[in-house]
Copies of this chain bind each other. A is one copy, B any other.
Amino acid sequence: MENSTPTRKRGRPLKTDGSNMTTKEKLVRYGTVILTEKGLASTGLDEILKTVGVPKGSFYHYFASKDDFGLAVIQHYETYFANKLDRCLWNKNRTPLDCLADFIEEAKDGMTRHAFKRGCLIGNLGQELGALNEKFRVPLEKVFLDWQNRVADCLERAKTTGQISSQTDSQEMAAFFWIGWEGAILRAKLVKSCAPLDLFAKHFFNSF
């Protein structure tokens, strides 16, 4: 048997080794991918460990439990996604509402590129663990509230440009957006098509 990845040295790694912080990072990074596809319960630790090339002992050095790992993955995804959202929503060459439409287009690209297998990590784990596990429920909902605020801010900007009525309840519309959007992603995975995403987007923009 031969190792595909160069065998990790035992013992404490060299301080000067630039890549010594990457073990945890690699775990979280691949965890984000695989948990988005398969969820937490269906994903075996061994699968992650084998893919990343990290022994079990290391995993439990970095994370207290599998749940703890899941929480770290959520945190990682939260900032990754918030950046993505802001990059779209703060585009100064576009009107606020077009910014939101751009985000939708980018998400559609991502869904298509991954053959409708991934969707949204927060939605997936929310469905799997939200109702069952209080340890996950609260952080998961916090992520949604954060995203909701970013969209609400975007809608507030759309008011100042006169793109939507100043009477609009931005928070409510932002909540409506994420509720419907997550539903659309779930359905898009089922039909393996962007049609549900487009359909929701159309009705969302029509309701201003």
Contacts and interface: CB of A to CB of B under 8 A. Distances in A.
A136 B45 CA distance: 24
Interface residues of A, number: 43
Nearest to A115: B131
A77 to B, nearest CB: 16
A194 B178 CA distance: 15
Contact of A127 (B41, B123, B200): B123
Given A132-B38, A206-B207, A187 B182 contact: yes
Contacts of A191: 141
A55 interface: no
Nearest to A138: B190
Scoring A117, A141, A183, A187 by chain B CB atoms within 10 A of each residue's CB, the highest score goes to A183
A118 B131 contact: yes
A141 B119 CA distance: 16
Interface in A92-139: 116-119, 123-124, 126-128, 130-132, 137
Contacts of A128: 39, 42, 127-128
A85 to B, nearest CB: 18
B190 A176 contact: no
A117 B134 CA distance: 11
B182 A199 contact: no
Contact of A183 (B132, B141, B180, B192): B180
Contacts of A181: 183
Given A38-B132, A42-B41, A127 B186 contact: yes
